[in-house]
Amino acid sequence: MQGRTYYLTTIESWQRESLRFTTSHYIHADPNSPIAASTKILAMVEAEEGTHNSLSTDPDWQEFPHALSSKPIPQSAAEALEPHGVSAFATTFEATEVVGKNHPILRFRPL
């Protein structure tokens, strides 16, 4: 079964795993930071359940709560996405709406 999940990761981690995804999109967490392997990104990954299970156990991939959940995103993710206007205690839906102003494909949309 295919599913979409949002993660905070790095360009290097995304490149290492990207062959396992059906589709994915990402945006730099801080658009003003220099581009490097360690640059943090917000990634939306569409993949099968096994891929998501594997990524959720990888410390390089910080999984966000489901977009329709009322749980806030991790504080470290909110801090990383602050340059986009994401505030502390934002939910995944709220964060993706804000980031979606710069990258519309990252907005939550049901499968």
- Does residue 91 contact residue 71 with C-beta atoms inside 8 Å? yes
- Residue among 89, 64, 67 nearest 9 (CA): 64
DSSP class of 61: -
Report the domain count for the chain: 1
Here the tokens at position 83 are 């340059």
Residue 74 confidence (pLDDT): 95
Residue 93 is assigned to a structural domain of this protein = yes
Residue 1 confidence (pLDDT): 66
What does the pLDDT look like over 11-34, one tens digit per residue?
Answer: 999 999 999 987 899 999 999 989
Residue 51 is assigned to a structural domain of this protein = yes
> Does an H or E element contain 20, and which?
none
- Does residue 55 contact residue 63 with C-beta atoms inside 8 Å? yes
Residue 59 is assigned to a structural domain of this protein = yes
Residue 52 confidence (pLDDT): 93
Residue 111 confidence (pLDDT): 62
* 77 Cβ neighbours under 8 A, 6+ residues apart: 8, 42, 62, 64, 95
Residue 111 is assigned to a structural domain of this protein = no
Name the pTM for this structure: 0.91
Residue 50 is assigned to a structural domain of this protein = yes
What does the pLDDT look like over 51-110, one tens digit per residue?
Answer: 999 999 999 999 999 999 999 999 999 999 999 999 999 999 999 999 999 888 888 877
Range of the domain at 50: 2-106
